[in-house]
Amino acid sequence: MFIIKLGGSVITDKTKQQCFKEDVMDDLAEAIKKANKETILVHGAGSFGHILAKKYELNNGYKNDDQLHGFSVTHKMVQSLNSLVLKSLHKNDIPAVSLSPHSILKLNDHKILEFNYKIFNAYLEQHFTPVTFGDVVLDKKLGFSICSGDLLVMALAEYFKPEKVIFAIDEDGLYDANPKINKNAEFIDSTTLEELEKFITTADKHDDVTKGMEGKVDTIKNIAELGIDTVLVNGNKPERLYQLMVGKDTKCTIVNGRK
């Protein structure tokens, strides 16, 4: 089984509010269909979530009643992105079913308190493809906060122990320095948890309320600790995702799980 996270910066244009990259999503859906593997899909919020979540300061919990409006419109926006993702999956004949985090999990100070994993199992057993996404959620300590797609991936990886966790990002993978400012930056094909500490990631952080790429490295470390391999692959090159899923070599960074 695979857990795949489609990055918000792959499926949306993060610089423009609510800008869905339909062509990219359609190509990714086609690749996933062609690979024909048991999969849980998670997607980021991109410009459908981060701009509003930042505006209403939703990640640090309840401060005033205006945020209630902020919470509900942010939820509506990420849900509408999710509907666009589902539409693309359905066009490609993938039996995708949406599982909205706000209704199946609860956080406590940003950590998972309750998560209905069984619902994922129940859909998988019937050969559906569960799709979940970064969302606003209830938080026992804070009132509410944000559950990023990465947190979902981590929790699902721990529960399902997939063959691989794949992050489709808007870069080819990891470099040993930032290639945007360092011409000598070298691409990393394969690395370990220990080596990962040393690498500087390439992606610019935009305005992610959930820490963007910096947070991703922490996520990968946690997954590697579980003994699961994590792969970073360029989501704008869907054939690479396909090749990965069917076990062929392709350009990507593999972070080997702790053995």
For residues 50 and 237, which CB has a smaller minimum distance to ligand IP8 in the complex?
Answer: 50
Contact (CB, 8 A) for 156 and 205: no
Residues of the shown chain interacting with ligand IP8 in the complex, contacts defined by CB under 6 A: 8, 44-45, 49-50, 53, 74, 78, 134-136, 146, 148-150, 208-210
For residues 148 and 243, which CB has a smaller minimum distance to ligand IP8 in the complex?
Answer: 148
Minimum CB–partner distance for residue 50 and ligand IP8 (Å): 5
Alpha carbon of 185 to those of 1, 176, 239: distances in Å?
Answer: 33, 6, 25
The two beta strands, 2-6 and 39-43, are parallel
Q: Which backbone phi and psi does 107 adopt, to 5 degrees?
A: -105, 165
For residues 50 and 240, which CB has a smaller minimum distance to ligand IP8 in the complex?
Answer: 50
Position with the least CB separation from ligand IP8: 134
Minimum CB–partner distance for residue 100 and ligand IP8 (Å): 11
For residues 139 and 150, which CB has a smaller minimum distance to ligand IP8 in the complex?
Answer: 150
Contact (CB, 8 A) for 256 and 49: no
Minimum CB–partner distance for residue 180 and ligand IP8 (Å): 21
Q: Which backbone phi and psi does 256 adopt, to 5 degrees?
A: -75, 135
Minimum CB–partner distance for residue 125 and ligand IP8 (Å): 26
Contact (CB, 8 A) for 5 and 232: no
